[in-house]
Amino acid sequence: MVVSMSKAADIVQHLCEAFERILAHPPSKVGRRLCSERELATRLQVERITIQKAFDQLVEKGYIARRHGSGTYVRKVPPASRGKIANINGQSFTAADFFAEPASTPARKQALQEHRRLKVAFLDKVGLQHNEMRSLLYSGVMNRLKESGHQVKLVQFEKADEELVSLEEAMAKIHDNPCDGYILWAPMIPKIDPTFLKAHAPVSYVAGGERISDHDYSPLTRIGTEDAFVRAVRLLKEVGHSKIAYFSNYGLGMTGNLQRFYDITLGAFDLEYRRTEFLEPNDDQIAQRMRKLFNGPDRPEAVYIADDILLRRVAPVLEKLNVIPGNDVGVVTLSNRGVSLPAKYKWSRLEFDPFQLGRLAADNLLLEIQNAGEVICSVENLATWYPGTTHICQ
C-alpha cells in the first residue's frame, strides 16, 4: 500500500504524541529503557522507519536518548499530560507495551554524541552573589556550559542560609523551570532519597566533603573538606603540635557529623586532646568563646579553621587577645581561591578552587544527560596545600 507523505507525517506525529503521553507518567523515569524500534513496529503494525522518525522527534525534544549497542532510554520525563493510555490503530497502548524489561546484565555503553543545545538550571538560595564561594562555583558552571553553547538559568529559593529546602519545594522549582538538567547544591535538601529528583530530570549534585553523612547523591561533585582536615592534622602533628582544636561555622545540622569526624581523625593520629568550637557569625559570641578558650587551662597549641570567612572574624579577636598565629598558636585554615584572607599573616592554608569545582559539576551534568541509563562516577575536588608561616610556632 502506498501512503502519501502527508498521511505518513500524520502517523509519525500521532505516534510521537502517544509516546510522549506514556513517557510523562510512571513507571517512566530517567534511565528506563524502551522497547526497540523493531519490537514497537511489529507491535503497532507500522514500518520501522515510522517508529524511528517518531523517536527522532522525542530525541530532539530531549525526552529520550539513543545509545549505540544498548538501546533507547528515557532522558527526561515530559510534563504530566492527560491520560496514561494511548490509542493507536484502534488499540490501547500502555507503558507495558512501551518499556523494555531490565536487562539482567547491562550492556557496555558508549558516550552519546550529539550537538543539541541544552538549557540547564543552577538551583541555589537567594543571596548567592553575597556568598563568595558559591558565587565562584556558579561562575565555573556558567563558564563550562556557555563555552559549549548551552544556556544556564539561575533559579533561587527564598531561604536563609540556615534553612533547608523541602523535597516539595525542590520539585516545585523543577516543575516551574523545565530544563534539560539541573545542578543542585545538595546540602540545601534534607535527608531524602535523591533518586526521586533524578527520576524526573537529570541532576548533578554539589556538596561538601562530609562522607560520613552522604546518602545516594550521584553524580556528586564533592569538596574534599574531610581530606583537607586529615592532612591539616598530619601537618600540624609533624611540626610538634599535639593539642589541635577545630573551629567551624554552625549550621544546617552538620555539627554532629563534623564532631564525629574530628574525634575519629584525632583518634587515628593517637591524639588525646579534644576541643571543637562551632561558631555563629556573631562577633561578640566569637570574642567570648575565644577569650574563654585561650585564657583557660584547656588552651590549644594549634587550631584548624574550616572556613576562610570564619577566619576573618577569628583573626582580629586573636590579635586583641595578643595570641599571634605562628608564635603563640599554630593555625591552618581552609580557603577558597579568589577569596581574600585577613592581611598581616602569611596564612598556612589548604585551598580549593570553586570555579573549577563548578566546571566539574557542569561536566558531570553533561555526562548524566548524555549517558541516560549509565551510572556516572562522582568526583572529589581536593585542596592544594600552601605552607605559610602560621602553622609552625617558633
The CA distance from 385 to 232, in Å, is 9
Does residue 386 lie in a domain region? no
Same domain (yes/no): 241, 200? no
Same domain (yes/no): 22, 52? yes
Q: pLDDT for 229-274, tens place per residue? A: 999 999 999 999 999 999 998 765 568 888 999 999 999 999 999 9
Q: pLDDT for 26-45, tens place per residue? A: 888 888 889 999 999 888 88
Same domain (yes/no): 219, 360? yes
- The larger pLDDT score, comparing residue 393 to residue 273, is at 273
User: Which domain CATH number covers 258?
Assistant: 3.40.50.2300
pLDDT confidence tier of residue 205, bands split at 50, 70 and 90: confident
In the chain, at which residue ranges do the beta strands (DSSP E only) sit? 64-67, 71-74, 86-88, 91-93, 119-125, 151-157, 181-185, 203-207, 220-223, 244-249, 276-279, 302-305, 330-336, 348-352, 379-381, 384-386
Q: Is the pLDDT of residue 109 over 60?
A: no
Same domain (yes/no): 218, 367? yes
* Mean pLDDT of the 125-130 span: 68
Same domain (yes/no): 220, 362? yes
Same domain (yes/no): 310, 244? yes
Q: Is the pLDDT of residue 323 over 80?
A: yes
Are 221 and 376 within 8 A, CB to CB? no
pLDDT confidence tier of residue 142, bands split at 50, 70 and 90: very high
Same domain (yes/no): 214, 230? no
Q: Is the pLDDT of residue 180 over 60?
A: yes
Does residue 391 lie in a domain region? no
The CA distance from 82 to 151, in Å, is 30
What 3-state DSSP class applies to 169? helix
Does residue 387 lie in a domain region? no
Distance of CA 251 to the CA centre of its chain: 19
Does residue 197 lie in a domain region? yes
Q: Is the pLDDT of residue 147 over 50?
A: yes
Q: pLDDT for 344-384, tens place per residue? A: 999 999 999 999 999 999 988 888 887 766 677 788 889 99
- Segments forming the whole domain that contains residue 317: 225-351
The cell for 32 is 528506563
Same domain (yes/no): 182, 299? no
Are 223 and 357 within 8 A, CB to CB? yes
Same domain (yes/no): 250, 339? yes
The CA distance from 366 to 369, in Å, is 5
Same domain (yes/no): 129, 274? no
The CA distance from 219 to 369, in Å, is 11
Integer CA distances (angstroms), 359 to 111, 131, 362, 363, in order: 19, 18, 5, 6
The CA distance from 81 to 103, in Å, is 29
Amino acid at 213: S
* Mean pLDDT of the 147-160 span: 85
Does residue 393 lie in a domain region? no
Are 177 and 155 within 8 A, CB to CB? yes
Q: What is the pLDDT of residue 5?
A: 46
The CA distance from 91 to 244, in Å, is 73
**Closest by CA position to 239, among listed 284, 193, 302:** 302
Say what the alpha-carbon torsion angle 204, 209, 210, 216 is, to the nearest 10 degrees: 20
Number of separate domains in the chain: 3
User: Which domain CATH number covers 93?
Assistant: 1.10.10.10
Same domain (yes/no): 153, 183? yes
Beta strand 91-93 pairing with 86-88: antiparallel
Q: What is the pLDDT of residue 116?
A: 62
Q: What is the pLDDT of residue 3?
A: 39
Does residue 106 lie in a domain region? no
Q: What is the mean pLDDT of the chain?
A: 83
What is the distance between the terminal CA atoms of the chain, rounded to a whole angstrom? 94
Does residue 394 lie in a domain region? no
Residues 6+ apart with CB under 8 A from 82: 21
Q: Is the pLDDT of residue 128 over 80?
A: no
What 3-state DSSP class applies to 282? coil
Residues 6+ apart with CB under 8 A from 115: none
Does residue 263 lie in a domain region? yes
Same domain (yes/no): 210, 129? yes
Cβ neighbour number for residue 5 with a 10 Å cutoff = 7
